[in-house]
Every structure is written in structure tokens, then in C-alpha cells.
Structure 1
Amino acid sequence: MLRVTVPVLVTRWHGEPPDREPAIDSWRTWPLSALPNRLFDCTAQCLLAWDPALPVSAPPATFYPAASPDQRR
């Protein structure tokens, strides 16, 4: 099975994010210091790619870095 997940680091936000996934019961936010015991594998993989020291576990994944728009030429 091929799965593509594109994580995005949001540094500023105003308001509440809209609910775009009717199949998901609810969205919650967690501080990094209090992540749930079990995360969706893709979520855990993205968090570990961002910070390998986080106390979460996930199956191995392949990551391809992308440049930010200001780094593309």
C-alpha cells in the first residue's frame, strides 16, 4: 500500500481550523509534552521526522525533504 502524507509546520494561526474530514469524529490538539500514548502511524512518523527525540513510536517511513517557497529557484 502506498500512502503519502504531507506534514506542514504552521508557525502562526488565527481562529479555529475548519472541519474538512467528515469521517473523523473530532480534532484535538496536544502539547508535545503530553502526547497521547497511541497516535495514528502517519502522525507519529511526521512528528518523529520533525523531532526524533519525541517520546512516540511509529513504524519506519521514508522521508523526502522539500524546500520552502523562498528556497526554490
Structure 2
Amino acid sequence: MPTRNDLYQLDLSNASFTKACGGPCSEGCVTLARIGDDAWALGDSKRPDVEPLRFSTEELSVAGIDPTRFGLAL
């Protein structure tokens, strides 16, 4: 599992974020991108200027976030 510092060293410039909405998409959506073999970036569509948070696959699972809900493969 990558360390917190490793995750934040990964470049997001080519990351392809996908939205998943929990309600009306006019309320804003969570965005998720795979940024490495075991690394993900989680953002907020309402605040695209804010740096996305970084997680390992295990951390996403513990948080109850399923990448398949975003159409992303594990």
C-alpha cells in the first residue's frame, strides 16, 4: 500500500475524473480518478479548484467508496 506521501507525489495532470452523484447532480458530485496501481484521487465537482484527496484502494474500501459505482475497474 502506498504511503500518504507517495500518494501526494503522484501527478494528476492526466487524471481522468468520473462523477458519481448521490442525489440530483445539480447538488454537486463526487469525482474519482485512478492515479496509480493502488492510488485514487477523490474530488468535489462543486469545488474543482480544491486539491483532490488521495487514497489507496484499501482506504477507499474502508470509507465505503466503490470505484465500480463510478464505472471504474478495481
Confirm or deny a common fold (TM above 0.5): no
TM-score, length of structure 2 as denominator length: 0.24
Higher relative contact order (CA 8 A, sep 6+): 2
Greater C-alpha Rg: 1
TM-score, length of structure 1 as denominator length: 0.24
More strand by share: 2
